[in-house]
Amino acid sequence: MKFVRWGEAGAEKPGVLDADGKVRDLSGVVADIDGTTLATMPEITPETLPLAGDVRLGPCVGSVGKLVCVGLNYADHAAEGGWDVPTEPVLFMKATTSISGPNDPVILPPGSEKTDWEAELAFVIGTRAKNTTDGAAHIAGYFILNDISERAWQQEHGGQWTKGKSHDTFAPMGPWLVTPDELGAPTGRAIWLEVDGKRMQDGTTDTMIFKPDFIVEYISRFMTLEPGDVVTTGTPPGVGLGKSPQVFLRAGQEMRLGIDGLGEQRLPVQGA
């Protein structure tokens, strides 16, 4: 199944795509697409549900508890930045207030100098995971997340990466949450990003160092993952930081990105 959340920002309703890709209203079945419903979703026939019409799509998961990120998780991305390939997953957090919809504007922070893009495969936890040895059993669905980063804040202001990762609109999610049975293996997926039509990232999830199943097992050693928590798994090469010369986002541009089987995002970039 492909689940969505639709409607005005902050008042999204649950939805599901039918066979024609149209949004059907799930609000008569569940209250939201979130940690309370992902593992207990009843059997659904989308074509029997009301059509939602031409609507805004919001973040595909609601009420996210934690947003955990894995850094430097593509061997070719580590190489472009001159970083050592990690021997264990590099973990950091993004604030949940950074979450936005798949076509919502990305707002550059005041004084932004080096705001960058990172197309990523993300997933949501469906059942509680603590010291698990079966990571796959806890993944309720996959989707796209753009891990937008202000590199000056991330690298030039001391401390950890979170401050450069957490500005409002820095975590566009969706358009769809695709269940594992529908998506199949998350490996071998083309992943790409364009800025104003120019291809910047053009990779595959096959170069991911640590795969989603292991990532769940690893994180669950250090913190309990609860239903509705989101984990994003790193980015392939082609970020602005890795270009020569470096390039970063400017107001008036548009990002377009996608992952095979998970749809696309279109994100206009606006000034503060």
Q: What is the pLDDT of residues 80-99, one digit of tens each?
A: 777 788 899 999 999 999 99
Q: In what order do the strands lie in the sheet with 139-146?
A: 23-25, 13-17, 2-6, 177-178, 139-146, 119-125, 230-232, 67-71, 90-93
Task: Decide if pLDDT at 31 tops 90.
Answer: yes
CA distance 225 to 217: 10
Q: What is the pLDDT of residue 59?
A: 98
Environment class of 69 (CB within 10 Å of its CB; exposed 0-12, middle 13-18, buried 19+): buried
Phi and psi based region of residue 247 (left: phi greater than 0; alpha: psi -120 to 50; beta: remaining) = beta
The partner residues of 264 in beta bridges, in order of sequence, read 258
- The pLDDT score that the predictor gives to residue 35 is 93
CA distance 59 to 84: 33
Q: Is 6 helix (H, G, I), strand (E, B) or coil?
A: strand
Q: What is the mean pLDDT of residues 183-211?
A: 96
Residue given tokens 């005041």 in the structure block: 110
Q: Which residues pair with 254 in a beta bridge?
A: 268
Domain boundaries, the chain: 57-270
Query: Smallest Cα–Cα separation from 24: which of 40, 8, 36, 1?
Result: 1
Q: What is the C-alpha end-to-end distance of the chain, expressed in Å?
A: 37
What is the mean pLDDT of the segment spanning 240-267?
97
Rounded to 5°, angle at Cα 269 from 266 and 270:
140
- Class (C level, CATH) for 57-270: alpha beta
SS3 annotation, 93-152 = ECCHHHEECCCCCEECCCCCCCEECCEEEEEEECCCECCCCCHHHHEEEEEEEECCEEHH
Q: What is the per-residue pLDDT for 207?
A: 93
Look up tokens 């309720």; give the residue.
140
Q: pTM of this prediction?
A: 0.96
Q: Which of 42-46, 77-81, 96-100, 205-209 has the lowest mean pLDDT?
A: 77-81
Helix (H, G, I), strand (E, B) or coil at 266: strand
